[in-house]
Chains A and B, each alone.
Chain A
Amino acid sequence: MRTLRSTPITLVVTAFIVIGLSALITLAVVSNPGHSGSDARRHPLTIIQSGWGLGLLAFEVLGVLVVTNEYSSGMISATLLATPKRLRVLLAKVLVFTLVVFVVAEVMSFANFFVGHAVVSAYPPFPNVALNGHNVLRAVIGQGLDAALVGLIGLAIGAILRHTAGAITASVAVLFVLPLVLMALPTSWEQPVEEYWPTEAGSQLEQLTRQPHALTAWWGTGDLALFVLVLLVLAGFALVKRDA
């Protein structure tokens, strides 16, 4: 990962796009003099973090590529020759990836917050949010944790499916598409499913207060972490049992 030029490029570009997009959206909302209706009811932190979904997507895709790249390039045979104990390969990938993504995502999340904070401050009438506010720090740190876990979804799905396009499609479906499909279901079905849907549950950590029909922040994160663990166990099983 380190010696590939694409990894740092992906991360840096993602950071700029996410922070830039968040800043633009924040600017658009707060500079609109008639900020009435739904905008006014949104908490400023939610507005500041509005570009984060794109970051999650990028981390998830990176997670997929960390594994599928090896299969598409043929590097996997060299990797497994060097380390024939396959679970060790998966474990190493999980450790390195989690560490890198967690650190980068935390830096991104804080940068995102401070840029957004500065934009909001420029428009005094709009209520701002401080880092020492209730649960604000938790939400900002939580954003990075959520990103690392979502990235691991991508990594696990990549190890199970092996093909870049298929794995990206599947993991984006988990993150964005299926939650949208859920909305089409009758409310009585939608609410319990959405409540426990891993990526929805995991994003509760980014909320300041508990949302209606949602798990609490930490139960939600636990739900996401459990989902990631199950996927990783499946990935480990697939890696060990199948021919490379």
Chain B
Amino acid sequence: MIEVRHLTKRFGAKVAVDDLSFEVQPGMVTGFLGPNGAGKTTTLRVMLGLARANKGTATINGTSYQQLRAPMREVGALLDAKSYHPGRKARNHLLALAQAGRIPRKRVDEVLEFVGLSEVANRKAGTFSLGMAQRLGIAAALLGDPGVLLFDEPVNGLDPEGILWARTLMQSLAAQGRTVFVSSHLMSEMALTASHVVVIGRGHLIADSSVEDLVKKSSGSVVRLRTPKDELLTPRLVAAGATVQANGDGALMVSGLEASAIGDIALAAGVPVHELAPQEASLEEAFMELTRDDVEFHAQQAGARP
């Protein structure tokens, strides 16, 4: 289990992480979401003892990373994928790490096989594509067979097959009872991988809930309605307290009324209904909604001339 308590990290005058507290439970994949520059990587680096917190603590299994007796056997981490010497062969890179972590040599070949890099094990890691580098990084994280795994943007640079592989891997690691904490700015990816999410923006906590709850909370109650008699039904819905918007493709988006109520009103008015579908916000939309005010770098509206 990972516990973060009142964590604050400043770089000069800029506050990167601001009084952040959350827990990551074992047995499931927890997503760590936030727009670029939200402080995800900084938080992970503090957890791993690579950066020092100005205030607060981050503990793994009750102790700070630097105090762990056998860090590689307890925690596996993938930070920057390319954290190896480019002139070193992939296998030698892992051997050096295994030696530092007192991990038997044969484990190196096991993890290389597991991430699918056996055939290129004796190639210089500097010649690897980003996808291969990610796999090598994941192999390094798994070396010590640790119970806690931290991945920073693990699917960056992976092809669709690789993404599917990484997703399955993370879920199976969690199913084995491990703590799996995965940062990403790709909400759609997390919606498929994680069952719990911690969302941060500008260094502070925005949400800490299950994916299901997050989506439900952000969905509101928007119902998609299609009927040939718009002009008859719309005034009745408005009279019942709903807000109705034309969707452009002939459907109406009704908010403020449950789907069942809309169906009842339509029946009472004798209006045929061709489609009546409660809309669920995607995690993507939920995320945009949550972080709208906390995006660090606002781009110009798409399509505007630079």
- A residues with a Cβ closer than 8 A to B are 3-6, 69-70, 73-85, 243-244
Contacts of A83 in B (CB 8 A): 71, 100
Q: In the complex, what residues of A have CB within 8 A of residue B93's CB?
A: 78
CB-CB under 8 A from A80, the residues of chain B are: 49-50
Cα separation A83 to B101 with both chains bound (whole Å): 7
* Chain B positions within 8 Å of A85 at CB level: 66
A82-B72, A84-B66, A85-B66 known; A77 vs B50 contact (CB < 8 Å): yes
Task: Find chain B residues with CB under 8 A from A77 CB.
Answer: 50, 79-80, 83
Q: Which residue, A70, A73, A83, has most C-beta atoms of chain B within 10 A? A: A73
Is B85 among interface residues, defined by CB-CB distance under 8 A?
A: yes
Report the minimum CB–CB distance from B40 to chain A (whole Å). Answer: 15
User: Are B87's CB and A75's CB within 8 A?
Assistant: no
- The DSSP consensus for interface residues of chain A is helix
Given A3-B95, A4-B88, verify A84-B49 contact (CB < 8 Å): yes
Q: What sequence of 0s and 1s flags, for each residue 86-107 of chain B, a beta carbon within 8 Å of any chain A beta carbon?
A: 1111001101110011000000
CB distance from A172 to the nearest CB of B (A): 23
Distance, CA A80 to CA B97, complexed state (A): 10
A243 touching B52, Cβ below 8 Å: yes
Closest chain-B Cβ to A92's Cβ sits at a distance in Å of 9
B64 to A: closest C-beta gap in Å: 9
Query: Is B68 in the interface zone, CB < 8 Å from A?
Result: yes
List of 8 A-B pairs having minimum Cβ-Cβ separation, nearest first: A82-B100, A3-B92, A243-B51, A74-B83, A84-B66, A244-B50, A78-B83, A73-B85
> Which residues of the other chain, A, contact B49 by a CB distance below 8 angstroms?
80, 84
Q: Residue A78 contacts which of B52, B66, B75, B84 (CB distance < 8 angstroms)?
A: B84
Give min CB distance, B98 to chain A, whole Å.
9
Separation of A82 and B282 alpha carbons in the complex (Å): 39
Give, as a whole number of angstroms, the nearest-CB distance from A67 to chain B.
13
Identify which of A5, A69, A79, A81 gathers the most chain B CB atoms within 10 Å of its CB: A81
Closest to A92 in B: B100
Residues of A within 8 Å of B50, CB to CB, are 77, 80-81, 243-244
- Taking the nearest CB of chain A, how far is it from the CB of B229, in angstroms? 64
- Of all chain B residues, the one with the shortest Cβ separation from A80 is B50
Interface members, chain B 79-133 (any A CB < 8 Å): 79-80, 82-89, 92-93, 95-97, 100-101
Within 8 A of A (CB), among B37-89: 45, 48-52, 65-66, 68, 71-72, 75, 77, 79-80, 82-89
Asked whether B140 is an interface residue with its Cβ less than 8 Å from the other chain, the reply is yes
Near A by CB (< 8 A), chain B positions 121-175 give 140
Q: Name 16 interchain pairs, CB-CB below 8 A, sorted by A.
A: A4-B85, A73-B85, A75-B83, A75-B85, A77-B50, A77-B83, A78-B84, A78-B97, A80-B49, A81-B50, A81-B71, A82-B101, A83-B100, A84-B48, A243-B52, A244-B51
Give complex CA distance A203, B93 in Å. 38
User: CB-CB < 8 A to A76: which residues of B?
Assistant: 83
Please state if B68 and A84 are interface contacts (CB–CB under 8 Å): yes
Distance, CA A134 to CA B192, complexed state (A): 79
Q: Are A5 and B140 also in contact (CB < 8 A) when A81-B77, A82-B101, A84-B66 are? A: no
With A3-B92, A3-B95, A3-B96 known as contacts, the answer to whether A81 contacts B84 (CB < 8 A) is: no
